[in-house]
Amino acid sequence: MTEIDPDVPVLVTGGSGYVASWIVRYLLEDGRTVRATVRDPKKPKGLDHLHKLSDEHPGRLTLHAADLLDQGSFAAAMDGCQLVIHTASPFLMGKLDDPQEQLVRPALEGTRNVLTSVNQTESVRRVVLTSSIVAIYGDNIDMRGKTCFTDADWNTTSTDSHQEYSYSKTVAEKEAWAMCGAQDRWDLVTVHPGLVFGPSLTTSSASGTMTTIGHFTDGSMTLGAPALEMGVVDVRDVARTHIAAAFTPTARGRYIATSGTVSLLDMGKILRSAFGKRRSFPNRELPKALVKIGGPATGMTRKFVDRNVGWPLRFDNSRTREELGVEFIAPETTVVDHFQQMIDDGQVKPR
């Protein structure tokens, strides 16, 4: 049982990100005081939404400079906090020049740095870590022989040269559990979102979410989409899951946050029924052989296509619903709300 005093400031790492911004917003709306870390609190772009939240909740949101690769940089902001919500970690998709430096090192060393400061900060009682379903499974094909993935499963197939982002999340989470197990002052609860969609509070995020939704506007699926199933979730539910994981005294272990599984074609159909026909919304699935030929040019390796395209994917989120009381928004609503927000923000033409 871990009771968190609701009047003590909460630390949120990576506070400006797509997911974290909703966590910060809901914490403030719930009456909490929040310290959010960002790499550069003085940067002229990308923090407007946090400044606005700060104005709306006077005296309850402060920004603090911290970098995952800068040892000890989280310590000052953490001082006196009982709760640390650690979301900061790069989520980059597509072909990367140096996945080890761009993904694995910040995820792993960053988690180690944040938790080293937690070990040195006597006030901390609980850490909520944003992990991912990709720390639970590596490729869709890994579900062979099972009906679904549960929070007992671990990704055993990603490496530093295949599904590198998934690998970065897996090694970071493993490190977190190892560091938690080596002491008994603070406990660890991990949240495992599927691919997150839903309205963004910022237009500056470089999250893989934006890369994926961008494929529904950039014409890359005009001829059709790979038969790729994804576990998805609404960003607002991801934020609520973190907060429930933080303030539920009995919360423990790993919580899957998915509302369901949709394919790229399903998403195309949802978008078409809400926004009408557009060339950029796929209306058929491409044969796997064709995807395999074209894949490498778009950052999908042949191995990825082999092990993911055409394979079903399912998750068991029952413990999250039952123990944390989260009621997940349907994927249809999430996808429509996301696209509508892109129209409202002027990122996509209304017609």
Q: Which residues bind ligand NAP (CB under 6 A)?
A: 14, 16-20, 38-39, 67-69, 87-91, 106, 130, 132, 169, 193, 195-196, 205-209
* CB nearer to ligand NAP: pick between 208 and 287: 208
Q: Is 183 helix (H, G, I), strand (E, B) or coil?
A: coil
Q: Distance between CA 90 and CA 336 in Å, rounded?
A: 26
**Buried b / exposed e across 132-158, counting CB within 10 Å, b at 16+?**
bbbbbbbbbbbbeeeeebbbebebebb
Closest approach of ligand NAP to the CB of residue 133, in Å: 7
Please count the CA atoms within 13 angstroms of the CA of 138 that sit on its side-chain side.
Answer: 20
Minimum distance from CB of 205 to ligand NAP (Å)? 3
Q: Which residue number, 82 or 190, has a Cβ lying nearer to ligand NAP?
A: 190
Measured from each CB, the residue nearest to ligand NAP is: 17
Spatial separation of the C-alpha atoms in residues 293 and 127, rounded to whole Å: 44
The yes-or-no answer on residue 169 being catalytic is yes
Q: Which residue stretches of 39-158 are H helix?
A: 48-56, 75-78, 99, 105-120
Indicate the residue among 293 and 330 with the shorter CB distance to ligand NAP. Answer: 330
Residue 224 · residue 189 · CB < 8 Å:
no
Please report how many Cα atoms fall inside a 13 Å half-sphere around the Cα of residue 220, on the Cβ side. Answer: 16
- The residue among 316, 323, 309, 320 whose CA lies nearest residue 153 is 316
Of residues 91 and 247, the one with the C-beta less far from ligand NAP: 91
Q: Which of 43, 45, 169, 277 is catalytic?
A: 169
Q: CB-wise, 89 or 155, nearer to ligand NAP?
A: 89
Q: Rounded to 5 degrees, what are φ and ψ at 37?
A: -95, 145
Q: How far is CA 35 from CA 74, 104, 111, 112, 199, in A?
A: 11, 26, 18, 20, 23
Smallest gap, in angstroms, from Cβ of residue 350 to ligand NAP? 25
Q: How far is the CB of 209 from ligand NAP (least distance, A)?
A: 4
DSSP 4: -
Q: How far is the CB of 245 from ligand NAP (least distance, A)?
A: 14
CB-CB contact of 308 with 170 (8 Å): no
Instruction: Rank residues 37 and 121 by Cβ distance to ligand NAP and give the closer one.
Output: 37
What is the closest distance, in whole angstroms, from the C-beta atom of residue 134 to ligand NAP in the complex? 7
Would you please indicate which residues are annotated as catalytic (active-site) residues? 169
